[in-house]
Structure 1
Amino acid sequence: MGSEFGVGTGMIDTAAMRHAMVASQLRTTGVDDVRVVAAMASVPREEFVPAESRTLAYRDTPIPLGRGRYLNNPMATGRLLTEAAILPEDRVLLVGAATGYTAAVLVELGATVTAVESDAGLLATARAALPGAVGIHWVEGPMADGHAAGAPYDVLLVDGSVEELPAALIAQLRVEGRIAAGIVDKGVTRLCSGRRTEGGVGVVPFVDAECVVLPGFAKPAAFRF
């Protein structure tokens, strides 16, 4: 890992912090898929945050990554992964890869991941945190565009909140493919899930929760006379 993210954790007991995250933030908030809990208990979250924030890595709060971006809080990511019902060998389009934490958890669950990120610096950190990772294809570009060359995907996972799900992302999901994403609705972030069908897409909220807002997904401003 690079120097910004790569200093040691000193005397921090990250294993104990990971255990506390599982006990107090995941199991108590509806993250009830035992495979998701086990994967999040296994992946060292502190390796995906800036060095100065490592003591915050397991708190139930977004972690600043610089340039206005944040690593999603564990509960939001855990609930999205649970609702997505990730299966071994699922092909997942991950939108909002950030520093690679959620991609690492998805691989731990047995998925093959196409991880899209618009911030070149964050993507460089993700690659450095997971050198030679098998099962992850990193894509630098507008998150709203996804990665059509790898379609169709079994799952669309947006690890953050967006004002709307672009048609370009939905089109890259196979029919009956699953969706889990945060949606910004009148200033409130809601975690949502659903499926693509022959007739379109159906996504419904399942909980109001803090979920970081991703750039590049603003709805076009309504025309005013």
Structure 2
Amino acid sequence: MTDFAQARRAMVNSQVRINDVTDYRIQDAMAELPREKFVPRSKQAKAYGDAEVEIGEGRFLLCPRDLAKLVQAADIKSTDLVLDIACGRGYTTALLARLAETVVGIDADAEMVARASERLNEVRADNAVVLEGDPRAGVPDQGPFDVIVIAGAVDEVPQALFDQLAEGGRLVTFVRNGPVGRATVFTKGQGSAIGERVVFDGTPTLVPGFEKERDFVF
């Protein structure tokens, strides 16, 4: 039987701390959250490995190193309102809930929304809620958000999500460039101005629905 508590400690020590994740809040949250409960039972033995874990058809939970570095890049404050896009089974939502004041997750898969809600209740993430809906559309009636997280790769970020950022708000995700995903922090300035900076590279799987729309050819 896998000792998940020991696996969590090993994950933080060998994948998170050594990769310049210096925010102790993130280290502590990842050391405490039972990652194995947020993946299918058949995948629990792989929950703490240094690779993505499949959580459903075409859906993956980011590897610990990439997720920790992405969340750290978002610079989440304890007073922030955060939106977790395509939240899947809720692990990222639960992690964000340890850092922010309130977290809203959204996913198009009703079964995953139900499982995420159950797990968030189990880990007592009382400041987080998961809604069923179109991740590309976000949750405009709940914003504006201080931080928006898309924990996977995208070809492009929908304008609707930028529109839901508060002034000074940050959106973090991996923008795909060929096989490589560039972890990027988008920051909203005055009006609709959006600045961006690349913080590191990774190879996460594309989030379904965030493929670049093909141009119509006559």
Please state which band the TM-score falls in when normalised by the shorter chain.
over 0.9
Letter in 2 for 1:144: R
Cα distance, 1:133 vs structure 2: 3.8
CA deviation string 1:50-99 (max 9, x = no partner): 11111111001111112221111111110111001111121001112111
What displacement does 1:39 show?
A: 1.0
Contact 1:142 1:216 in 2 (8 A): no
Following TM superposition, by how much is the alpha carbon of 1:210 offset from its aligned partner in structure 2, in angstroms?
2.2
Confirm or deny that 1:219 pairs with 2:212. yes
Match of 1:8 in 2: none
The one-letter code matched in structure 1 to 2:166 is R
Equivalent residue number for residue 168 of structure 1: 160
* Residues 205-224 of structure 1: CA deviation (Å, up to 9, x unaligned): 21111223111112221345
Q: How does 1:67-78 map to 2 (within 5 A)?
A: 67-78=57-68
What is the alpha-carbon distance in structure 2 between the residues aligned to residue 103 and residue 123 of structure 1? 11
| Residue identity (%) | 35
1:133-152 correspondence to structure 2 within 5 Å = 133-152=125-144
Distance 1:68 1:179 in 2: 23
Alignment of 1:16-31 (within 5 A): 16-31=6-21
Aligned in 2, Cα 1:51/1:98: closer, same or farther, shift over 3 Å?
Answer: same
2:120–2:128 contact (8 Å) kept in structure 1: no
Q: 1:167 is aligned with what amino acid?
A: Q
Whole-angstrom distance in 2 between the partners of 1:85 and 1:33: 9
For residues 210 and 186 of structure 1, the distance between their equivalents in structure 2, rounded to whole angstroms, comes to 10
- TM (norm. structure 2) is 0.93
Partner of 1:204 in structure 2? 197
Instruction: Show structure 1 runs of 4+ deviating over 6 A.
Output: none
Q: Residue 18 of structure 2 aligns to a residue in which SS?
A: coil
Give the paired residue count.
215
2:105 maps to 1:112: no
Counterpart among 19, 24, 38 of residue 28 in structure 2? 38
For the pair 1:190 / 2:182, whether they are aligned, the reply is yes
Q: Which residue of 2 aligns with 1:125?
A: 115
Contact 2:58 2:208 (8 Å CA) reproduced: no
Counterpart CA distance in 2 for 1:58 and 1:111 is: 27
User: Contact 1:96–1:158 at 8 Å: present in 2 too?
Assistant: yes
User: Quick check: 1:98 aligned with 2:88?
Assistant: yes
**Contact 2:54 2:61 (C-alpha < 8 Å) held by counterparts:** yes
Moved more, 67-76 or 18-27: 67-76
Instruction: Give unpaired runs (5+ residues) of structure 2.
Output: none
CA contact (8 A) 2:189 2:195 kept: yes
Contact 1:93 1:153 in 2 (8 A): yes
Contact 2:81–2:100 (8 Å) recurs in 1: no
Contact 1:71 1:212 in 2 (8 A): no
Residue 89 of structure 1 corresponds to 79
Structure-1 separation of matches of 2:171 and 2:23: 17
Counterparts of 1:111 and 1:213, CA distance in 2: 28
Mapped contact 1:116–1:139 kept (Cα < 8 A): yes
Matches of 1:49 and 1:14, distance apart in 2: 13
Measured after TM superposition, the shift of residue 153 of structure 1 is 0.6
What CA distance in whole angstroms lies between the structure 1 residues aligned with 2:19 and 2:108?
A: 30
Normalised by the size of structure 1, how large is the TM-score? 0.90
Which of 126, 131, 148 does residue 156 from structure 1 map onto? 148
**What's the offset of the Cα at 1:33?**
1.2
Sort the Cα spacing of 1:67 and 1:206 in 2 relative to 1 into closer, same or farther, 3 A.
same
